[in-house]
């Protein structure tokens, strides 16, 4: 399904129609690369976050979780290298002195071509831009702007400076100007909140190396290419774990986490053929090994998670910039040292997009007329991730059926998410549940009153069974926990 734009657009439309994801502040025409999660999307996202948290912390005795603030002391970002190195290209017009982001300029031209009906030219232009951005080819990007005769909207001229870097961090003011406000940043990654708390956690938790610190939370980047739905956002959520190890053992632990994280992705029910490693050939100056786990989205294989062996770079830099000793005494070897770090860093929004892409299907299904089929849109979420686990549907709004259904609802709702619905035909209600990925529907009918049985309908197989009312809760619990 590489580069299946049609499927991607259908998925985006489905997400909006069924309460998964909406453009942010849509009534004001939205905000570029910012999205809101709706009633089903936020529950799906929470289920993925909870599963990651449990896999990392509860399932590993030597990994603990924290929740650090988004705002951090500004020196944090000098120490981490983000102030100097976390940037993207921009260009100025010499006549108007107006500054543009290179991607905005070229995207504007592509939009103009699109409006003129030159769709292929627009696509080629965007592809050329992406290719040049990927390799930081600034002269190539400037030439593209000149070749396309892209003019400044104010001066109308094509008199451009060379392209320079633009920092991706969002900044704001802490305190009022009269108090002498200082500039601080919205964190561009959650990892630094873990590094600056290394000693706090190690000492108060009496943690022995090797051990890990995990955290989930928002990160912010003024992204330069932001056209791919929730794949690349300006406000997004990360789930990161820093594993602190004895120097010299970091590559062994890197290999361990590389394998472990791929297993985790497979445990989400992802088809292994749609997962791959992408080893980094060009390493960041602080890393001695790095790999991405990629998923085959409808827009092709792309990064969902990065695993990096970051050496002792981060803790050493914080030691240097803070002037505080950040070291660990290893009594097994009777030595003090700055630990090395192996990082696993996964985007929660990209995980949501991966699960949505994997689950989405437009499937031909039989109808009452054997010569015809119908199309249903179904989300095949694994039961433990589905936003709603069980739909409880009385066949009619009378004859005591709603009362039996409500009783079942009361028994189940403290254990898992249920949905009660009595409107519309049963077929229409089933379809709505398929569209949001509810694995089980239970119908209460007149026979229920006679023999205490209900019809349970399975989302994926469309099979229907008659089971005892009293068995419903355990059946669903088994599927969720299994």
Q: Which residues bind ligand GAP (CB under 6 A)?
A: 189, 191, 221, 223, 232-233, 236, 238, 240, 303-306, 343, 345-347, 349-350
> What is the smallest separation between the CB atom of 460 and ligand GAP, expressed in angstroms?
28
CA distance 3 to 356: 16
Residue 378 neighbours by CB under 8 Å, 6+ apart = 361, 363, 434, 435, 437, 459, 460
* Residue 236 or 243 with smaller CB distance to ligand GAP: 236
> What is the smallest separation between the CB atom of 54 and ligand GAP, expressed in angstroms?
19
* Residue 250 or 343 with smaller CB distance to ligand GAP: 343
> What is the smallest separation between the CB atom of 285 and ligand GAP, expressed in angstroms?
14
DSSP state of 297: E
> What is the smallest separation between the CB atom of 349 and ligand GAP, expressed in angstroms?
5
* Residue 189 or 434 with smaller CB distance to ligand GAP: 189
Residue 376 neighbours by CB under 8 Å, 6+ apart = 362, 363, 365, 431, 434
Residue 63 C-alpha from the chain's centroid = 22
The HSE-up count of residue 195 (CA atoms within 13 Å, CB side) is 30
> What is the smallest separation between the CB atom of 311 and ligand GAP, expressed in angstroms?
14
> What is the smallest separation between the CB atom of 9 and ligand GAP, expressed in angstroms?
19
* Residue 315 or 418 with smaller CB distance to ligand GAP: 315
* Residue 278 or 432 with smaller CB distance to ligand GAP: 278
> What is the smallest separation between the CB atom of 347 and ligand GAP, expressed in angstroms?
2
Nearest position to ligand GAP, beta carbon: 347
CA-wise closest residue to 321 among 95, 27, 152, 82 = 82
* Residue 121 or 303 with smaller CB distance to ligand GAP: 303
Q: What own/partner pairs with CB < 8 Å and gap ≥ 24 does 101-104 have?
A: 101/166, 101/224, 102/129, 102/133, 102/141, 102/145, 102/163, 102/224, 103/129, 103/133, 103/224, 103/225
* Residue 142 or 234 with smaller CB distance to ligand GAP: 234
CA distance 307 to 242: 10
């Amino acid at each position: 399904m590489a580069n299946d734009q049609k499927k991607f657009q259908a998925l985006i439309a489905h997400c909006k129609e069924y309460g998964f994801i909406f453009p942010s502040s849509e009534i004001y025409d939205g905000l570029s690369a910012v999205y809101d999660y709706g009633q089903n999307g936020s529950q799906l996202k929470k289920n993925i976050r909870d599963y990651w948290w449990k896999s990392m912390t509860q399932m590993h005795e030597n990994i603990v979780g924290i929740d650090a603030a988004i705002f951090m002391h500004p020196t944090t970002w000098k120490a981490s290298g983000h102030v100097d190195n976390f940037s993207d290209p921009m260009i100025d017009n010499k006549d108007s002195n107006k500054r543009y982001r290179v991607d905005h300029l070229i995207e504007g031209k592509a939009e103009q071509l699109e409006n003129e009906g030159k769709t292929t030219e627009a696509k080629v232009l965007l592809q050329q831009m992406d290719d040049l951005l990927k390799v930081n080819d600034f002269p190539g990007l400037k030439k593209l702007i000149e070749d396309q005769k892209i003019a400044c909207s104010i001066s109308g001229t094509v008199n451009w400076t060379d392209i320079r870097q633009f920092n991706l961090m969002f900044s704001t003011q802490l305190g009022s100007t009269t108090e002498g406000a200082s500039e601080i940043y919205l964190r561009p990654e959650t990892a630094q909140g873990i590094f600056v708390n290394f000693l706090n956690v190690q000492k108060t938790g009496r943690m022995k190396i090797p051990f890990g610190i995990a955290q989930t939370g928002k990160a912010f980047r003024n992204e330069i290419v932001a056209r791919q739905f929730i794949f690349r956002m300006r406000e997004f959520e990360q789930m990161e774990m820093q594993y602190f190890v004895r120097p010299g053992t970091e590559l062994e632990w890197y290999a361990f986490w590389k394998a472990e994280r791929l297993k985790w992705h497979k445990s989400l029910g992802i088809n292994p053929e749609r997962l791959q490693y992408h080893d980094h050939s060009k390493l960041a100056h602080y890393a001695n090994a790095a790999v991405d786990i990629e998923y085959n989205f409808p827009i092709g294989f792309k990064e969902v998670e990065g695993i990096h062996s970051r050496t002792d770079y981060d803790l050493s830099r914080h030691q240097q910039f803070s002037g505080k000793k950040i070291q660990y005494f290893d009594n097994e070897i009777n030595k003090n040292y700055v630990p090395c770090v192996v990082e696993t860093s996964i985007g929660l929004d990209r995980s949501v997009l991966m699960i949505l892409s994997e689950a989405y299907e437009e499937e031909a299904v039989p109808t009452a007329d054997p010569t015809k089929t119908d199309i249903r849109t179904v989300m095949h979420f694994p039961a433990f991730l589905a936003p709603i686990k069980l739909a409880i549907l009385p066949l009619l709004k009378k004859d005591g059926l709603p009362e039996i259904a409500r009783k079942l609802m009361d028994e189940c709702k403290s254990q898992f998410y249920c949905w009660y619905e009595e409107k519309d035909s049963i077929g229409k209600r089933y379809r709505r549940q398929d569209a949001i990925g509810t694995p089980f529907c239970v119908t209460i009918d007149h026979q229920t009153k006679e023999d205490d049985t209900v019809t349970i309908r399975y989302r994926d197989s469309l099979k229907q069974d008659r089971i005892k009312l009293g068995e419903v809760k355990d059946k669903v619990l088994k599927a969720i926990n299994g």
